[in-house]
Amino acid sequence: MPASPALPDSSQPDPAAARCDEFLGHPKGLYVCFFTEMWERFSFYGMKALLLLYLLKYHLFGDDAGYDLIGAYGGLVYAVPVIGGLLADRYLGMRKAVVLGGVLLVLGHLGMAYEGQAAKTVNGAVVRDEAALQVFYLSLALIIAGVGFLKPNISTIVGKLYAHDDPRRDSGFTLFYAGINVGALFSALICAFLGETYGWKYGFGAAGIGMVAGLLMFLWGQRYLHGHAEPADPARLREKVRGLSREAWIYLGSAAGVLVLWGTIQFASQVTLRLGSLDFTAALAIMLATLAAFLVWFFGFIARQCGKVERQQMLALVVLIFAVLIFFTLYEQTYGSWVTFNDRLMTKDMFGLANAADYKPTLPWSLFSMAASPPLMVAALLASDRGRDGLAKALVALLVLGLALATAHDVVLVPQTAGSLTYLGAFFIVVLAPLFSWLWPWLARRGRSPGKPVTMALGLIFAGLSFLPLVAAAEVAGGGAMASVWYLVAAYFILEIGEMCLSPIGLSAVTQLSVARVVGLMMGAFWLATAFSEVLAAQLAKIASVDIPEGGAIDLAAAAARYGELFSMLMWLGLGSGVAFLLLAPLLRRWMHGAG
């Protein structure tokens, strides 16, 4: 497909043209990216909310094997985008990369809808449908590759819609990241509910259909991206290499990469390596080897190619990335041990209405409001194109009102499940984001900004404190009663305060503290730290693994004790590391030389 005409300077759009292409104060392309990412995150988190429960309840994995698989999967999901971003920058361009990623995601999520035969226990041994499991692993590989191409590139397109000095840039990214959390919020309410209530295939299938909606929205909205997503050098992409164009080789290589990932996800999650008296899953061994290689490069680079200021800033950055690793090791328990604890030992109904009222909804209203959102947004943008701004704003207001009413209905009146309650994380992000977006500038204007090291230390402390309600819940469950779901609500609320303190700051630190010529590599290191945290989170969650007997009943007191041990340990890990980073903060601030 021929490239769209590029602007003379893609980072400095013409002001007059920009004004004609705005809606609600931002480029219309922002809303295309918003809805593309919203649906991608809907599909991703919808599947993630179901994944562990599906493994444990349908394929009858043990807790250890289930945690190992979600850890290996999570690690690969956050590692592969480094490759996808590199290929888009050098060859494909962002449009082709996002479309490729979207297609792979659709195939992966729809493949997850194939269940095969449920596992069963025969004479004490678990018998599984091995063909269905291979389809499952292949689907995971497709999703990993799809995220690798889509996730890093859709964010880059948003940045290109604004000039570097455009004051709307930060608020534009705030709106874009709201799309991530809206997608995550409704994915749990829809996909997890459908999967646990009507059958796993319906939850996974809904995630796949959501990704189709996102891909169609992106393709339809190309007119609003004005060539920013096109390849930097189309001629180089078309150039023949051994009889095929570079573009064809990339697609063939991507298909081969999916096959490699198909084998890797099984190797990383199922193979255990031994070093002396220590056992490592292959996933953890791969991450440790990657960390060792990175540190060898890093210390060699700062020793030979950096001046004193650059060296200290890079050292400060690596320490802050280590804080990110610890934080997300704690955070990813929300899709691991928090889900199984909630499923086994906690109530689900927050308001006492979902199971008590005569009204029994068969489907969440969110399903209908989300289905209506793409046509409403398309209609709003088309109305704006025709100068009918009043109608366009009314359509957006209708869209927002529908989503809000659906959320209220589904949270209060629809019976919740362990998977659907993962919506709490995104819900609190949506609630807290406006407060924190006001708080940081307010503190800065008064000269009281705590700075990046202190803010990230506070994030770790809040992450540790989030486990305190769960320690209390485990004590209640140990007494033989189901713990109230409100312990989980409190835990999520405290955890998301920590995320608001740490996560945005971590990404900002990479761009501010990296030496310019290696900023891409250091951003890769940031995502690799997140990948490492997924694997570590899975290994730690195994402390609370519970052996479920053939009859399905578990010893509640013993299970509660194991969960209490895990949650207490993670609470002290968060608090201890937070205090350690507070003590390091003055040194880190000096090393940053005014960059935060």
For residue 59, the model assigns a pLDDT of 93
Concatenating the DSSP letter of every residue in 206-236 gives HHHHHHHHHHHHHHHGGGGTTTTTS-S-HHH
Cβ atoms within 10 Å of 145's Cβ, excluding its own: 29
3-state secondary structure 138-192: HHHHHHHHHHHHHHHHHHHHHHHCCCCCCCCHHHHHHHHHHHHHHHHHHHHHHHH
314 within 8 A of 306, measured Cβ to Cβ = yes
Task: Give 10-residue mean pLDDT values along the chain (596 residues).
Answer: 36 49 85 88 89 93 92 89 81 87 92 92 88 95 91 79 74 74 90 92 92 90 84 83 88 94 92 74 87 89 90 92 94 95 93 72 89 91 89 93 92 90 92 81 80 90 97 94 95 95 76 78 82 92 85 82 96 97 93 79
Q: What's the pLDDT at 5?
A: 34
pLDDT at residue 2, as a whole number? 36
* C-beta atoms surrounding 414 within 10 Å: 23
pTM of the predicted model as reported, rounded to 2 decimal places: 0.88
Cβ-contact 79, 531 below 8 angstroms: yes
Which DSSP symbol is given to 547? Answer: P
Q: For position 11, what pLDDT does the model report?
A: 43
Residue 544 CA to residue 51 CA, distance in Å, equals: 18
pLDDT number for residue 293: 87
Encoded tokens for 241: 């290499």
Burial of residue 237 (number of CB atoms within 10 Å: 0-12, 13-18, 19+): buried
Condensed to tens digits (0 to 9), the pLDDT of residues 417-430 reads 999 999 999 999 88
Please report the pLDDT score of residue 9 as a whole number.
Answer: 39
Q: How far is residue 495's CA from residue 484's CA, in Å, rounded to a whole number?
A: 18
pLDDT, position 548:
76
